Amino acid sequence: MFLVPEVLNECFIYENGQMQVATGDVTLPKLENITNTLKGGGIAGEVESPVMGHYKSVQMTVNYRIPTKEFLKRHRAGNQDLEVRGATQFLNKQTGLQEIQHFKIVARGRTVSGDGGKMAAHSPFDSAITYELHYYKVSINGETIIEVDKFNYIAVIDGVDYMKEVRKALGME
């Protein structure tokens, strides 16, 4: 197939199983490996080497137009379950038709900050809640592309579980 990505046709955000209709958008996490600096004999300089399956802080922000009652409840302690579902639109170059793919993010984490935004007449508040994630999964059309579970030593990227041997070495399997 010759698909050209066009646009996110629409998306819905669910928090703890409830659809959030007052949200504006979501800032998706940055996955950044923890690294170790290699230097010494046999290396001309330094090389940052990723530690397989280990990631720095993984945060996701849900942006709200107005801080609703549901928004304010997100400051509670404990895990928050998040799900973002999107309909991504593509152009099929062979047929000339547009196609929709199912884009889904499942995340679990805790609230680390809340920004109430700014009050100005005739304007949205631009409020935001930021979550520190310990679980993050991205699927397209039902196929898992990324799954990171920090507490269970899972780091699957494109079908390869980079932590499988680590779990075995630690006696977890």
Number of independent structural domains in the chain: 1
Strands (E), the chain: 3-15, 18-19, 23-27, 33-39, 46-55, 59-64, 79-92, 98-115, 127-140, 143-149, 154-157, 160-161
pLDDT of residue 146: 98
The average confidence (pLDDT) of the chain is: 92
pTM for the full predicted model: 0.89
Q: Nearest CA to 130 among 148, 145, 111?
A: 111
Residues 18-50 have pLDDT tens digits of: 887 656 789 999 999 999 999 999 999 999 999
Given a cut of 90, whether residue 92 has pLDDT beyond it is yes
Residues 122-157 have pLDDT tens digits of: 888 888 999 999 999 999 999 999 999 999 999 999
Domain that holds residue 43: 3-169
Helix (H, G, I), strand (E, B) or coil at 6: strand
Q: Which of the four pLDDT bands, split at 50, 70 and 90, describes residue 158?
A: very high
**Which CATH number does the domain housing residue 148 bear?**
2.30.110
| Overall average pLDDT of the 57-61 stretch | 96
